[in-house]
């Protein structure tokens, strides 16, 4: 795709904030902060949103090569990310990373180049070389081997996409600041599709792209995630909620919810050890029942049993 050039900005002028919302995974957060030291271009600031000191690897925070500000607030991915957005200050680009996302060493350098050269980009997400979310998860050693073997791509290799992937998504800060955009806190706990909703609202002010030069690996750590029944409810409730908010088309919502239900049903007899398929299926049916009653809403997950978050 072809994007307009920004002839005024130069490399080094861009201020990049790296943001991580974390819950109950101090070791992963420590690895994420250590990963920053491997970057050929450092972020100007790191913001970490946590719910308490138990979420934080204090040693990694103190030893990080750039200043780290830890913000404490209430639990929930959208709430924690909004706390970060309340501290945008004068940054130009904010990069949200999951605490279990491993960047290639040139990730931030290529991110800067991308946002400097293409002024029409509002949202960018990277090329995930491997994703452990659908399996048992990946180790940091495996991620490093994958990235070492992955070829670098030119910064101009862009694909327009519907939304950024929540494990690594960068936003131009100006439209967020100017329009007081925030993540929807009606998507509680793990959020589930909060990346789609927020990406579409920011994308109203420019292009949303996937950049092959932004390479990384998503480990898919299983700790700190929503229970099966709650996630199953969100798999149905959240897509239809986004339809009402006009950030998802009805056909997309039907395919997404239906695909998840079919996968949960098909695999519930012999579920993967790392996925609570039966719990998810129960949550799916609970959401369908609420949908038929006209009472379905993402916040209903807070009333469901088996909380583990």
Return the ∠ at Cα 286 (arms to 281 and 287), rounded to 5°.
100
Query: Could you tell me which of 168, 191, 281 has the C-alpha nearest to residue 242?
Result: 191
Whether the full predicted model's pTM is greater than 0.85, yes or no, is yes
Given a cut of 70, whether residue 8 has pLDDT beyond it is no
Given a cut of 60, whether residue 4 has pLDDT beyond it is no
List CB contacts of 120: < 8 A, sequence separation 6 or more.
Answer: 3, 4, 206, 207
* CA 293 to chain CA centroid, nearest Å: 32
Cα–Cα dist 104/39, whole Å: 8
Least confident of 12-21, 80-89, 224-233, 289-298: 224-233
Query: Could you tell me which of 156, 153, 88 has the C-alpha nearest to residue 118?
Result: 156
Cα–Cα dist 87/216, whole Å: 26
What is the pairing mode between strands 207-218 and 158-160?
antiparallel
- In the three-class reduction of DSSP (H, G, I as helix; E, B as strand; rest coil), residue 10 is classed as coil
List CB contacts of 19: < 8 A, sequence separation 6 or more.
Answer: 46, 47, 48, 49, 81, 84, 94, 95, 96, 97
pLDDT single digits (tens) 104-132? 999 999 999 999 999 999 999 999 999 99
Cα–Cα dist 84/46, whole Å: 10
Using 50, 70 and 90 to split pLDDT, how confident is the model at 154?
Answer: low
């Amino acid at each position: 795709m072809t994007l307009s050039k920004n002839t005024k900005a130069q490399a080094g002028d861009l201020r990049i904030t790296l943001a991580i919302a974390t819950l109950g995974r101090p070791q992963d957060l420590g690895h994420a902060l250590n990963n920053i030291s491997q970057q050929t271009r450092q972020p100007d600031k790191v913001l970490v949103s946590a719910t308490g000191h138990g979420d934080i690897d204090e040693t990694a925070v103190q030893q990080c090569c750039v200043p780290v500000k830890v913000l404490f607030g209430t639990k929930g991915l959208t709430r924690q990310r909004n706390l970060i957005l309340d501290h945008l200050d004068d940054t130009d680009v904010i990069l949200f990373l999951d605490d279990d996302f491993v960047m290639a060493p040139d990730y931030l350098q290529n991110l800067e180049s991308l946002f400097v050269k293409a002024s029409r980009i509002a949202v960018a997400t990277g090329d995930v070389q491997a994703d452990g979310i659908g399996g048992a998860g990946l180790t940091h050693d495996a991620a490093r081997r994958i990235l070492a073997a992955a070829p670098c791509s030119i910064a101009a290799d862009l694909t327009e996409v519907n939304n950024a992937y929540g494990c690594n998504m960068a936003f131009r800060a100006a439209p967020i600041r100017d329009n007081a955009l925030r993540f929807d806190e009606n998507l509680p706990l793990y959020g589930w599709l909060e990346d789609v909703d927020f990406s579409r609202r920011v994308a109203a002010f420019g292009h949303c792209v996937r950049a092959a030069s932004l390479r990384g690996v998503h480990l898919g750590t299983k700790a700190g995630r929503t229970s099966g029944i709650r996630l199953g409810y969100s798999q149905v409730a959240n897509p239809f909620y986004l339809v009402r908010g006009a950030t998802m088309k009805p056909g997309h919502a039907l395919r997404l919810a239906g695909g998840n239900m079919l996968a949960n049903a098909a695999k519930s007899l012999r579920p993967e050890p790392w996925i609570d398929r039966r719990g998810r299926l129960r949550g799916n049916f609970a959401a369908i029942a609420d949908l038929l009653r006209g009472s379905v809403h993402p916040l209903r997950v807070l009333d469901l049993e088996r909380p583990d978050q």
